[in-house]
């Protein structure tokens, strides 16, 4: 089974297109909570137990773990092991190297830690992507269009009448022989999102919803036309209310229901 097929099937089974970003950050937790690494681990494990039936996937932003050095890296390994394939897992590391180096990253992410998929930065071109897509059961989400202001520095540049982000979307179509490539598309201008959705029906991973304020409805509707748009929400779920698990669970249910309703409305 290819990664993109697994993504579609699991989304139907779980009735979810929600990805929860497990971007642990002790600064956002009340001081009454245990902020040791063991305390953070237990909090994340509790979040997983409270939400794994609700969401489709978990995304771990690697920076939030590497910030604690090798002990944080070990925490990331424990979290992926704890999820234990109840949900899909995304290593949000935006790795972007070539050849032998990228092969080592693939070993690191897919085998050593055991993630199902990774985010990749394409500045070095297809050489950065190809070593990650050899195993069709493992997925790659390639940075295409991001919602930050300085996306204009590269992504919006126009060469041969096409923006760089359109070039990347097309490159990913060409490379998708194993049906395991998706795109990272920020919740940005609907016109730009439509430009990309018109080019192919690769799955999208959409960050920037919730605390970051992206437009949920437009992103859900455009991304899910003839494909799947995975909506990532981090802070607005894992630090919901005062970080008690009822608040976290209710936030996950609420986002999931909103997303499903928007998809239904579009049909």
Which residues belong to the active site? 94
CB of 257 to a copy of itself, least distance (A): 28
Q: Find the binding residues for a copy of itself in span 4-23 (CB under 8 A).
A: 23
Rg of the chain, C-alpha, whole Å: 18
Does residue 102 interact with a copy of itself by CB under 8 A? yes
Q: Length of the chain in residues, anyone? A: 267
Q: Would you say 114 or 190 has its CB closer to a copy of itself?
A: 114
Measured in whole angstroms, the distance separating CA 244 from the mean position of its chain's CA atoms is 24
* 8 Å CB contact between 93 and 83: no
Q: Supply the angle between the helices 190-199 and 164-175 in degrees, to the nearest 10.
A: 30
What distance in Å separates the CA atoms of residue 34 and residue 130, rounded to the nearest whole number? Answer: 42
Q: Which stretch binds a copy of itself (CB under 8 A): 32-40, 149-157, 224-232, 248-256?
A: 149-157
* 8 Å CB contact between 184 and 172: no
Residue among 261, 233, 228 nearest 5 (CA): 228
Q: Would you say 112 or 189 has its CB closer to a copy of itself?
A: 112
Does residue 135 interact with a copy of itself by CB under 8 A? no
The size of the interface with a copy of itself (CB under 8 A), counted in residues, is: 55
What is the phi/psi pair of residue 98, to 5°? -135, 165
Q: Which stretch binds a copy of itself (CB under 8 A): 2-10, 29-37, 150-158, 240-248?
A: 150-158
The correct pick among 2, 50, 108, 178 for binding a copy of itself (CB under 8 A) is: 108
The residues of the shown chain that bind a copy of itself, judged by CB under 8 A, are: 23, 61, 63-64, 66-74, 76-77, 94-99, 101-102, 104-105, 107-108, 112-113, 121-128, 143, 146, 148-155, 157-160, 164, 167-168, 171
């Amino acid at each position: 089974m290819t990664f993109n097929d697994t993504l579609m099937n699991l989304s139907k089974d779980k009735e979810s297109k929600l990805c929860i970003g497990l971007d642990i950050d002790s600064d956002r937790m009340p001081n009454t909570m245990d902020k040791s690494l063991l305390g953070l681990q237990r909090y994340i494990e509790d979040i997983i137990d409270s939400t794994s039936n609700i969401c489709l996937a978990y995304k771990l932003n690697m920076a939030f773990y590497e910030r604690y050095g090798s002990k944080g890296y070990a925490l990331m390994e424990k979290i992926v092991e704890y999820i234990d394939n109840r949900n899909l897992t995304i290593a949000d590391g935006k790795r972007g190297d070539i050849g032998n180096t990228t092969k080592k990253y693939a070993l690191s992410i897919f085998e050593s830690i055991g993630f199902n998929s990774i985010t990749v930065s394409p500045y070095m071109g297809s050489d950065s992507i190809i070593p990650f897509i050899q195993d069709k059961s493992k997925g790659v989400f390639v940075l295409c269009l991001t919602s930050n202001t300085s996306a204009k520095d590269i992504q919006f540049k126009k060469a041969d009448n096409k923006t760089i982000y359109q070039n990347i979307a097309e490159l990913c179509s060409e490379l998708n022989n194993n049906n395991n490539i998706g795109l990272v598309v920020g919740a940005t201008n609907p016109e730009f999102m439509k430009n990309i959705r018109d080019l192919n029906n690769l799955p999208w991973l959409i960050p920037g919803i919730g605390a970051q304020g992206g437009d949920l409805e437009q992103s859900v509707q455009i991304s899910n036309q003839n494909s799947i748009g995975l909506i990532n929400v981090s802070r607005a779920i894992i630090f919901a209310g005062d970080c008690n698990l009822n608040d976290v669970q209710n936030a996950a249910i609420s986002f999931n229901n909103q997303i499903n309703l928007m998809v239904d409305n579009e049909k």
